[in-house]
Structure 1
Amino acid sequence: MRINMTSVFVDDQAKALSFYADTLGFVKKHDVPVGGEARWLTVVSPENPEGTELLLEPDMHPAAKAYKTALFADGIPAVQFAVDDVKAEFERLSALGVRFTVDPMEAGPVWVAVLDDTCGNLVQIATQP
């Protein structure tokens, strides 16, 4: 069994695509209309284009909005991404105007930082030695 897709609820798919692709550096994989304004919109790591996809899923369902709002209010990241160097990624993203809620910090054997994805989620980045 393998993880081939996971999702993050977003309040605006176009804004999410811009942030996840243009700012974070992911690559759009699928963009298929599914009715109304919703799209089957996924991104992947440029380092592994056939790897796990991240679905930028509309938060139209009331439960999705409540879930996302509660996680954000409590400071809980909705998703985590691995990076080679948290401190370097913090500097790169900060220079692009990304707002961090947790600056780089050591958390046991890993370094982490938490950023705001501008679409209602917190995202943790982490580096393991």
Structure 2
Amino acid sequence: MKIHLTSVMVDDQATAEKFYTEILGFVVKHDVDLGGDRWLTVVSPENPEGTELLLEPSGHPAAKPFKEALVADGIPFTQFAVEDVHAEYQRMKALGVRFTQEPTDMGPVTTAVFDDTCGNLIQIATLPE
């Protein structure tokens, strides 16, 4: 068994597509019009056949309070691995990304947390080799 697809609930798919591609550097894998919403997935350009991230509309009534509670408590919804958290933090900060946690050493891992502009906090981490 392997993870093929995971999702992040977004307030607006067009805003999410722009942020996740232009700022984070993912590429669109699937973009299917579903009559208002879209089946919109992105992947890492380093692994285009790898795990897809669905930019899922957060229209379900439970989504908004769930996301707001996570943000209020400072809890990231998901995590992405990066080669160097410090370098990625500087790159993203220069592009105007708002961080809620600067790069922080947490034992064998270094993490930082940012606002994805779509209602989520996302953590980036440099994992031990």
TM bracket, shorter-chain basis: over 0.9
AA of the residue aligned to 1:51: G
SS at match of 2:80: strand
What code does the residue aligned with 1:114 have?
V
Measured against aligned partners, the alpha-carbon deviations of 1:31-68 in whole angstroms (never above 9, x if no partner) come to: 10112x20000000000000000000000001111211
Give TM-score, length-normalised by structure 1: 0.97
SS in 2 for 1:71: helix
Shift of 1:99: 0.5
Aligned to 2:115: 116
Tell me which residue corresponds to 1:7: 7
DSSP 3-state at the match of 1:76: coil
Question: Paired residue for 2:27?
Answer: 27
Q: Secondary structure at the match of 2:74?
A: coil
Give RMSD over aligned pairs: 0.6
Corresponding residue of 1:41: 40
Give the structure 1 partner of residue 94 of structure 2.
95
- Secondary structure at 2:100 match in 1: strand
Query: What is the aligned partner in structure 2 of residue 65 from structure 1?
Result: 64
Q: Which residue of 2 aligns with 1:56?
A: 55
Q: Which residue of 1 aligns with 2:124?
A: 125
TM-score w.r.t. the length of structure 2 is: 0.97
Count the aligned residue pairs: 128
Q: Deviations over 1:51-101 (max 9, x none)?
A: 000000000001111211111111100110000000000000000000000
The structure 1 segments of at least 4 consecutive aligned residues displaced by more than 2 Å after TM superposition are none
Show structure 2 runs of 5+ residues with no match.
Answer: none
